[in-house]
Structure 1
Amino acid sequence: MDFLINLDVDDLEHAIAFYHEAFGFTLGRRFGTDGAELLGGPAPLYLLAKAAGTPAFAGDGRHRDYRRHWTPVHLDLVVEEIEPAVERALAAGAVLEAPIATQAWGRLALMADPFGHGFCLVQFLGEGYDAIATS
């Protein structure tokens, strides 16, 4: 089984530029003005143009809002060295939401993209998650 990653954005061109500048993703295909496929990670990243204020899904009273928001699903991007990755993301327009933290498994930077989506930059150290695995 494969999986795809889809992110709603309100400005497709800005999102393509951000994800290229911040993480080095390259444009694979365009789907008219409604979407773009970005390549460079373990799964394609699809950016879907959805206007702010449109319904999140049929019958829902909530509407898309691209201010910073919380969702239980987010991207973790694993990097070799966290400081240069954070600097690159910041230069592209990301926001660092907390200082870089070091855990038993590695280092973590909590960030947000310009479209309100949270993401984390992760640098594994030593055994990575094996350092905290219980089974």
Structure 2
Amino acid sequence: MKLIVNIDVPDLAAAEAFYTAAFDLAVTRRFDGVVELTGESALFHLLEKAPGTTGAGGDPRRYDRHWSPVHLDILVEDLDMAVDRATAAGALVERRPPDGAWGRIANMADPFGHGFCLIQLLNRGYDELT
């Protein structure tokens, strides 16, 4: 099984610039309204979809900051460096809670309103919670 992450965006060129700069992903294919990115263990497809068009479940797409029960958690080796890289590319830091025995996290948003978390595991990672 292979995971493909699809991210709807209103501006494909801006999304490509953000995701390649923020996460060191590379463009591998382009097709009608889609840019495929690789460089992590999952493929990323940026799908150009205009604001207000109908998404899954009949909801209109919106690109202001929104909440979604599905979001990206991106494991990184160095949280500070990853946050700096993402913010330089246009991401917003929303919250940096205190570090825990399990690791460090930064709650972020991309320029298109999608939330994601950058996570640096420490010690035994999530096993510290059990």
Give the ranges of 4+ consecutive aligned residues of structure 1 lying more than 4 Å apart after TM superposition. none
AA partner of residue 11 (structure 1): D
Question: Are residues 1:80 and 2:77 paired?
Answer: yes
CA–CA distance in structure 2, aligned partners of residues 88 and 2 of structure 1: 27
Is residue 42 of structure 2 the alignment partner of residue 43 of structure 1?
A: yes
Q: Distance in 1 between matches of 2:10 and 2:97?
A: 28
Q: Deviations over 1:9-45 (max 9, x none)?
A: 000010011001111000010013x101000010100
Q: 2:115 aligns with which of 113, 118, 129?
A: 118
Hey, what's the Cα distance between the residues in 1 that align with 2:17 and 2:97? 25
CA distance in 2: counterparts of 1:123 and 1:100, whole angstroms:
13
Report the CA distance between 1:94 and its aligned residue: 0.2
Which residue of structure 1 lines up, in the alignment, with residue 87 of structure 2? 90
RMSD between aligned alpha carbons? 1.2
CA distance in 2, matches of 1:9, 1:82: 25
Identity of aligned residues (%): 52
What is the identity, as a one-letter code, of the residue corresponding to 2:46?
L
TM-score (structure 1 length as normaliser)? 0.92
Aligned residue for 1:52?
Answer: 51
Do residues 23 (structure 1) and 23 (structure 2) align?
A: yes
Work out the CA distance in 1 between the residues paired with 2:68 and 2:97. Answer: 21
Task: Tell me the distance in 2 between the aligned counterparts of 1:85 and 1:91.
Answer: 10
The question of whether the paired residues in 2 share the 8 Å contact of 1:70 and 1:118 is answered with: yes
Instruction: Give me the TM-score of the superposition, normalised by structure 2.
Output: 0.95
Query: 1:70 is matched with which residue?
Result: 67
Q: How many residues align?
A: 130
Stretches of structure 2 that go unaligned for 5 or more consecutive residues are: none
| Gap regions ≥5 residues in structure 1 | none
CA distance in 1, matches of 2:81, 2:56: 38
1:85, distance to aligned residue in structure 2 (A):
0.7
